[in-house]
Amino acid sequence: MPGHLSTWFIPKEVKLELVKHYQMYGYSKLSEIKLNAFGLRNHKETYHMDICEESLSDLNESLEINPDDALALKIRGITYRKMSRYEESLADLNKLLEIEPDNAEILSERGETYRMMNRCKESLKNLNKSLKIKPNNASALRYRGATYRMMNRFKNH
């Protein structure tokens, strides 16, 4: 269960107890790191720089053990973006897209990173490709709307 999607919404105190439990049964250090870093990802505190730094440290340690861990790369890329470290964010997202070039979710995240860098044409290219693959991708639709807004491209009714 460590690193499993269902652990993302568990409060930190509960996760720490789970880590202790899993350690008793011999789970690897990688599982412990994933549980902590990925669990922090969806909490409001993640938006604060100190928590981002802590998550980033755990993600870096996890990626030292398994450099091709897709979930860790994705979350680290998003974390870098939240910290305004856009080039590092792109490096992780680009690595993922080398492995899975048609991953709609990663294309969407890369599109948002480009938007944050004021690279709107590249943003739209990624977001439109994401939406061709997965037309109802809510994140891609929201990010594309934000990109159009940034470009002052509105439809007048």
Give the chain's domain count: 2
Binning pLDDT at 50, 70 and 90, where does residue 151 land?
Answer: very high
Shared domain for 7 and 41, answered yes or no, is yes
Q: Give residue 105's pLDDT.
A: 96
pLDDT in tens, 61-101: 989 999 988 998 999 999 999 999 999 999 999 999 999 99
Whether residues 150 and 133 fall in one domain: yes
What pLDDT is recorded for position 22?
A: 45
Residue 138: phi and psi, rounded to 5, are -60, -40
Q: Token digits for 24?
A: 């008793």
Q: What is the per-residue pLDDT across 88-147, written as a single tens digit (0 to 9) for each?
A: 999 999 999 999 999 999 999 999 999 999 999 999 999 999 999 999 999 999 999 999
Q: Are residues 65 and 137 in the same domain?
A: no
Q: Which long-range contacts (C-beta less than 8 Å, at least 24 apart) are formed by 110-118?
A: 111/140, 111/143, 111/144, 111/147, 112/81, 112/139, 112/143, 112/146, 113/77, 113/81, 113/86, 113/89, 114/90, 115/143, 115/146, 115/147, 115/150, 116/81, 116/84, 116/86, 117/86, 118/150
CATH code at position 137: 1.25.40
| 3 and 80 assigned to the same domain | yes
pLDDT digits (tens, 9 = 90+) for 1-32: 344 333 444 445 554 554 554 444 444 444 44
Whether residue 95 is found in the same domain as residue 112 = no
Q: Which domain holds residue 148?
A: 103-157
